[in-house]
Amino acid sequence: MSPYDSEPADRLVTAAADGEDQAVEAALRPKLLDEFIGQERVREQLSLVLQAARRRGSAPDHVLLSGPPGLGKTTLSMIIAAELGAPIRITSGPAIQHAGDLAAILSSLAEGEVLFLDEIHRMSRPAEEMLYMAMEDFRVDVIVGKGPGATAIPLELPPFTLVGATTRAGLLPPPLRDRFGFTGHMEFYAPAELQRVVHRSAALLDVEIDPAGAAEIAGRSRGTPRIANRLLRRVRDYAQVRHDGVVTAEIAGRALEVYEVDARGLDRLDRAVLGALLRLFGGGPVGLSTLAVAVGEEAETVEEVAEPFLVREGLLARTPRGRIATAAAWQHLGLVPPDRAGRGAVPAQPELFAPGGPRSPEN
């Protein structure tokens, strides 16, 4: 390969851009509970847990944070460490494939340290079983040797606080879930809360934004602060390049139109899924894999990236016979269901949707 080949350069540019985005996101994270916006109930409960631990002079109970991505689970873990004045160690479930990996991390913890374990539901079973004893008794058994001569050496651990984060709490086995002293479930944000998030982030980024501009961004952010901050940065770019740098509702709307985020927060993939479901399949029902092929994506991408938001917005429903569009979906895309549409909205293969006709067996 030539040293001037563009592929390695492209990878370097992508890695640098990702690193820059991560640095900006880290700068926007609140550092203390009082600075954290939203999640009032979880914040109040967590504050009581931390204050009581500080008064006792001991490590607080282990904490489990669950909820969809982008709502602040990692930020809260860092806040827990900051409020306790303790160091934090960050790792993730997929990174711990063997019990030895976990033993190495646990044995190096200092007293009172916070261990943040992201995607804890993806940890391997042997490591999970070792974690039971570590959480409950602050001890792990290290196996030395193999076969009949193997010996278990108990290793005492200093008191520490495990903060686990998961987007799929139902995948956690009950023995692990029950060892957490506090469980907080993160909810999607209301538009007013997201507006406060946008205003705070705009001040940190030195972006001039009016209330209407913040409301426009908040309304397209899917109830998620991470998305709100990302959209704010893209709107900032548009405002600085094509206007005077001030973000108004009109400027935010134009910018997000360029980035293919519509007034309801749907992006290109969301609209492609809905468009295929309505135009090609007459609103369904249609199987997941068939729908994914129609939009040129993997079935897992459609199911895990697009569908949760479309279902939450009441635009799509999952049924035993497949995915179906709701009346709101037809209205959002400005289409009329086939039974009232005439020629313009007849499905590409109407025989698939005739009464008694064949249906996709996929779910």
User: Alpha carbon of 254 to those of 65, 134, 208, 236, 248: distances in Å?
Assistant: 36, 53, 17, 12, 10
Residue 326 appears among annotated catalytic residues? no
Q: Is 118 part of the annotated catalytic residue set?
A: yes
Asked if 73 is an active-site residue, the reply is yes
Catalytic residue among 73, 179, 220, 271: 73
* Catalytic-labelled residue, pool 75, 118, 161, 267: 118
Query: Is 207 in contact with 249 (CB distance < 8 Å)?
Result: no
Annotated active-site residue 91? The verdict is no
Which among 220, 226, 230, 271 is annotated as catalytic? 226
3-state secondary structure the chain: CCCCCHHHHHHHHHHHHHHHHHHHHHHHCCCCHHHCCCCHHHHHHHHHHHHHHHHHCCCCCCEEEECCCCCCHHHHHHHHHHHHCCCEEEEEHHHCCCHHHHHHHHHCCCCCCEEEEECHHHCCHHHHHHHHHHHHHCEEEEEECCHHHCEEEEEECCCCEEEEEECCHHHCCHHHHCCCCEEEECCCCCHHHHHHHHHHHHHHCCCCECHHHHHHHHHCCCCCHHHHHHHHHHHHHHHHHHCCCCECHHHHHHHHHHCCCCCCCCCHHHHHHHHHHHHHCCCCCECHHHHHHHHCCCHHHHHHHHHHHHHHCCCEEEECCEEEECHHHHHHCCCCCHHHHCHHHCCCCHHHHCCCCCCCCCC
Tell me whether residue 31 is one of the annotated catalytic residues: no
Contact residues for 183 (Cβ-Cβ < 8 A; gap 6+): 63, 64, 65, 66, 177
Catalytic residue, chosen from 75, 161, 167, 224, is: 167
CA angle 191, 197, 198 (to 5 degrees): 90
Q: Which residues are catalytic?
A: 73-74, 118, 167, 226
